[in-house]
């Protein structure tokens, strides 16, 4: 007893998101009525189905079924030839079961995604952005980066200028936007631009990202007010010396001489006079304190935390975090925490499961505040794979951006 099975053809092709079917003929080579179950073997079985899934045959009879493959349009679908087997399992004679083998040629597709963080930068000399490129296709994606500025008022620097991104992961690049011309005083000027992410593939549509650079004057707005305040303080110090301190010193010196029986000569310094031809001695310089303008100075801040460098601490002022991009390129499992540590203790800001993402971004309307003396830290606790398999590197990271507010 047993079964015989044969496919209509040995090779067929399909694109992710589509479907293709192939016929299989099953013949009962035994001597009794038998029922045969059709199963598709291997990982490819998750995309495949048999219609009908079971066949009952008299001895010597044969019947056909259709095997349909529907590979999903996701990055985990492998591109290229995939071997598969169709098991025809005999109910009456399990040892007489048979397998028909074939090859499914799975096509590749591109599904690029990108995000510019932050969308708007500001500064007088340079604006800093992070570019996150997601490869949602099922093949390696080679991309070239280009800045588009129709008005030609800014120029771009990319590090690196090209990126190779594996399926299902994200690649990152640093974008620097520099003004062609700077100005010393005046209101900030908005410079709009676009970043083009161009996949290196025929007929691939580039991803265009809108951004802007708020160009500020070289001299901060409070500079002139600070100079006026400084001049007023200097004038006040001089007047205080001439009108109050110097006469008081002379009066005290004259009184001290009189107490010891000396009478200062008219016109002497102790008597309140002086040498008409002499140059007055300058007043001793004192410590001068300038109060910062309301709100203090601020500047853009961004960086990357990983398992090697996992914490950042502002030395002055307050660090405000507006954007976070988490990356788990190796697909490690376990837990990832973003913590803030202060003299009063440690608190968890975010707790994420590494199993649930490869890349994940957050944008905050109300920024995360890290004051001077506090620490923002990324803590990764990876777990061993189950069942046992080659060890997956634990290399998550988080990119942050925001601004530093002076005290």
Start-end of H helices in 272-359:
none
What CATH number is associated with residue 322?
Answer: 2.60.120.230
Instruction: Indicate whether 98 and 151 sit together in one domain.
Output: no
Instruction: Indicate whether 159 and 73 sit together in one domain.
Output: no
Is residue 151 assigned to a domain?
A: yes
pLDDT tens for the chain, 407 residues long, are: 578 999 999 899 999 999 999 999 999 988 899 899 999 998 888 899 999 999 999 998 999 999 999 999 998 898 999 999 999 999 988 888 899 999 999 998 888 999 999 999 988 889 999 999 999 998 899 999 999 998 889 999 999 999 999 998 999 999 999 998 887 777 888 899 999 999 988 878 899 999 999 988 877 776 677 778 888 888 888 888 888 777 777 667 666 655 544 444 444 444 444 444 433 333 333 322 223 334 556 778 888 998 888 898 888 888 899 999 999 988 888 999 999 998 889 999 999 998 888 889 999 989 999 888 899 999 998 886 665 555 668 889 999 999 888 76
What CATH number is associated with residue 115?
Answer: 2.60.40.10
Q: What is the pTM of this model?
A: 0.49
Is residue 358 assigned to a domain?
A: yes
Is residue 238 assigned to a domain?
A: yes
In the chain, what's the furthest Cα-to-Cα distance? Answer: 146
Domain range spanning residue 148? 110-219
What is the number of domains present in the chain? 4
Is residue 288 assigned to a domain?
A: no
Starting at the earlier edge strand, list the strands of the sheet with 80-90.
Answer: 11-14, 98-106, 80-90, 34-41, 54-57
Burial class (CB in 10 A: 0-12, 13-18, 19+), 194: middle
Is residue 353 assigned to a domain?
A: yes
Ramachandran region of residue 2, left (φ > 0), alpha (ψ -120 to 50) or beta?
left
Instruction: Indicate whether 99 and 114 sit together in one domain.
Output: no
Nearest C-alpha neighbor of 141 from the set 47, 71, 207, 195: 207
Starting at the earlier edge strand, list the strands of the sheet with 375-382.
Answer: 311-312, 375-382, 334-342, 345-353
Is residue 284 assigned to a domain?
A: no
Distance of alpha carbon 265 from alpha carbon 189, whole angstroms: 68
Instruction: Indicate whether 194 and 129 sit together in one domain.
Output: yes
Start-end of H helices in 161-319:
223-240, 246-259
Instruction: Indicate whether 128 and 215 sit together in one domain.
Output: yes
Enter the tokens of residue 362: 């957050």
Last residue of a domain, one of 81, 106, 131: 106
DSSP code for 279: P
DSSP code for 109: -
Please tell me the predicted confidence (pLDDT) of residue 220.
73
Q: Is the dihedral of CA 270, 273, 279, 284 positive or negative?
A: positive
Is residue 290 assigned to a domain?
A: no
Instruction: Indicate whether 126 and 177 sit together in one domain.
Output: yes
């Amino acid at each position: 007893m047993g079964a015989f099975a044969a496919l209509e053809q040995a090779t067929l092709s399909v694109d992710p998101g589509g479907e293709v079917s192939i016929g299989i003929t099953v013949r009962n080579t035994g001597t009794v009525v038998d029922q045969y179950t059709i199963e598709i073997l291997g990982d490819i079985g998750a995309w495949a189905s048999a219609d009908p899934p079971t066949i009952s045959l008299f001895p010597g009879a044969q019947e056909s079924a259709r095997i349909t493959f529907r590979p999903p349009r996701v990055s985990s679908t492998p591109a290229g030839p995939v071997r598969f087997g169709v098991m025809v399992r005999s109910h009456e004679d399990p040892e007489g079961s048979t397998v028909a083998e074939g090859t499914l040629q799975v096509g590749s597709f591109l599904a690029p995604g990108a995000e510019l963080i932050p969308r708007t930068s500001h500064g007088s000399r340079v604006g800093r952005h992070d570019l996150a490129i997601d490869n949602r296709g099922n093949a390696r994606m080679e991309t070239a980066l280009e800045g588009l500025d129709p008005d030609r008022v800014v120029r771009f620097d990319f590090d690196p200028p090209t990126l190779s991104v594996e399926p299902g992961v994200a690649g990152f690049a640093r974008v620097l936007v520099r003004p062609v011309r700077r100005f010393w005083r005046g209101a900030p000027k908005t410079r709009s631009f676009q970043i083009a992410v161009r996949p290196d593939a025929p007929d691939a549509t580039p991803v265009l990202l809108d951004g802007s650079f708020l160009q500020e004057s070289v001299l901060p707005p409070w500079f002139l007010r600070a100079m006026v305040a400084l001049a007023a303080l200097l004038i006040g110090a001089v007047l205080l010396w001439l009108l109050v301190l110097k006469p008081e010193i002379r009066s005290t010196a004259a009184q001290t001489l009189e107490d010891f029986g000396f009478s200062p000569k008219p016109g002497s310094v102790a008597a309140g006079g002086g040498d008409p031809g002499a140059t007055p001695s300058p007043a001793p310089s004192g410590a001068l304190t300038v109060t910062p303008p309301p709100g203090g100075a601020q500047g853009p801040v961004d960086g990357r935390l990983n398992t090697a460098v996992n914490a950042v601490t502002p030395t002055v002022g307050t660090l405000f975090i507006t954007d976070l991009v988490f990356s788990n390129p190796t697909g490690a499992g376990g837990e990832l925490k973003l913590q803030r540590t202060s003299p009063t203790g440690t608190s968890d800001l975010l707790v994420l499961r590494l199993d649930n993402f490869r890349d994940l971004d957050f944008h905050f309307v109300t920024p995360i505040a890290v004051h001077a003396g506090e620490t923002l830290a990324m803590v990764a606790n990876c777990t061993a794979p189950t069942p046992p398999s080659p060890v997956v590197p634990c290399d998550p990271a988080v990119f942050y951006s925001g601004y530093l507010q002076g005290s």
